[in-house]
Amino acid sequence: MVIPSTFPEAQELATTVCTIGPGLEKQVTKYSQGGETLRAMLLDGTGSTAVDILVQEACRFISREALTRDSQASSPVNPGMPGLPITEQWNLLELAHAGDIGVSLTSSGIMVPRKSTSMIIAAGPEMKPWTQAEICARCNLRETCPYTVLRS
């Protein structure tokens, strides 16, 4: 596995996969096929928010764990971000034992269930989490994202 070059201070790495499972996705499909597009869209957005909250909780957990080792945790890096090619997604899911929680990849690299995400978080005594501006600066969407803090 490629270790992101953004972690020169790392002494430990946490490979993490977060998912809310397939239930919501099945219901969204049911609503869509039944002509309830708005309901499907709202439920899908709720699922995305749930995964985001789960990621935040996972990051907090890893940060607390790092503190017990007199270390600090980095900000998460997801496959596809600079320093971690999307092709590493397969290795990351294997290292994180994603199959144990029902997460897999299609042949084209799409996570199933879709309301899932993967990340690497580094830890070490010299590790520093990034500011929001630093996160935006590392993101491939920085030029088009309406939420970036780099543009005014």
pTM: 0.84
Domain 12-127: CATH architecture, name and number where available: 3-Layer(aba) Sandwich (3.40)
Residue 113: other Cβ atoms inside 10 A: 19
pLDDT by 10-residue block (mean), the chain, 152 residues: 76 94 96 97 96 95 96 91 87 95 93 96 89 78 74 50
Concatenate the DSSP letters of all residues of 50-92 into one string. HHHHHHHHHHHHHHHHHHTTT-EE---B-TTSTTS-GGGHHHH
Q: Measured between alpha carbons, how far is 16 from 27 in angstroms, rounded to an integer?
A: 26
**Sequence spans of domains, the chain:** 12-127
